[in-house]
Structure 1
């Protein structure tokens, strides 16, 4: 009678150990990518920093590009929980907000708050894509996911009935896509020294002026 209980316990323990290994690998990779860059970071080095076998790293992440994508996803979400961004509380709060200007302000406040940690990972992927086909696939995936997110956001804004006359949902999506790109943060904050707060206010005002009546 005790055998099934023991198997469940062993399975649970293995699953928890796998989750802990994953967290340690992601933390190690994030630090190494930021410190050394994508090309100079090797998977055995990630394994050593995480305190796991290199086979454990490859079991969790097929290759370095997949690991970079996972680092990006965790950085955006703030955790490694299996909850998509669309299901997060801040998105739900934006969706129920009736004012389109306030929706934009709420989103840009969130974006400015995470940009200092998220944008460097995006730029790593963008730069790595030039020399690594696997990284290029990951960068394309990241861009596609961003476009999808902005498509939903545009539809939400259009549904308020307060978008400027003559603008389609695709037009609004493209404006959001352009301002959301990491290049804006790179230019304004990394090159010109703007604070994330100023960057967020600039994007808020620019998007409101561009898409709302």
Structure 2
């Protein structure tokens, strides 16, 4: 009996994680398609194939669910996988390319939900923290890359890490990428290449 209990416990944990993942995936899709305000907890429960009490037990209220989407979006957008690749970069051009690839992948895979959340935040106070958290992750990530470039001695004369971080944060923002893709018809390949070429010219020796 002693060996079966850990197995059952692990199985329950895996089931709970899968239920949570289904709920977050359903919320992510519905928020992007119908909008945050028009999506109720019952809609999310139905789409995830669970009961409303299960949604509350697994994730929490609708506001808590929205906040949990930040980590879910990062995972869906390949942030953690690409971050590991960034850490392995040994040259400044490689680091910059991998960083811009991370930004490109996140926006290409998750741009719809990020736009939906940002737009809804103007009228939904619950989403203000979600937008702030996403912006914070982006800013921290770009400033960390700028600091690494400085440690490599790769920044141009007169460009300190703070300035480099600010430039990267603005140029690689979702707003910039959306404008190029949605308004000017660029492909994500073109956006990534342009960011790498432009930031290389602006920041690197």
- TM-score > 0.5 by shorter chain: yes
Once the two structures are TM-superposed, the CA of residue 189 in structure 1 deviates from its matched residue by 0.6
Look up the match of 2:46.
Answer: 48
TM-score norm. by structure 2 comes to 0.89
Aligned residue in 2 for 1:204: 196
The residue aligned with 2:168 is 176
Aligned to 1:142: 134
1:153 has 2:145 as partner: yes
CA distance in 2, matches of 1:40, 1:74: 21
Q: Give the distance between the partners of 1:140 and 1:38, measured in 2 at CA.
A: 17
Superposed CA deviations along residues 4-30 of structure 1, whole A, max 9, x for unmatched, are 445434322321221121121122112
Deviations 1:154-198 (A, max 9, x none): 111111112011122111111111022110121111122211111
- The answer on whether the counterparts of 2:29 and 2:113 sit within 8 Å (CA) in structure 1 is no
Maintained 8 Å contact 1:154/1:173: yes
User: What secondary structure, in the 3-state scheme, does the structure 1 residue paired with 2:159 have?
Assistant: coil
Answer whether contact 2:31 2:117 (CA < 8 A) is retained.
no
In the alignment, what sits opposite 1:102?
A: 94
Post-superposition CA distance 1:89-125 (Å, at most 9, x none):
x334333433212211122233323322222222222
**In structure 1, distance between residues paired with 2:111 and 2:76:** 14
Kept in 2: contact 1:176–1:207 (CA 8 A): yes
Range moving further from structure 2, 91-100 or 148-157: 91-100
RMSD: 2.2
C-alpha deviation, 1:79, in angstroms:
8.3
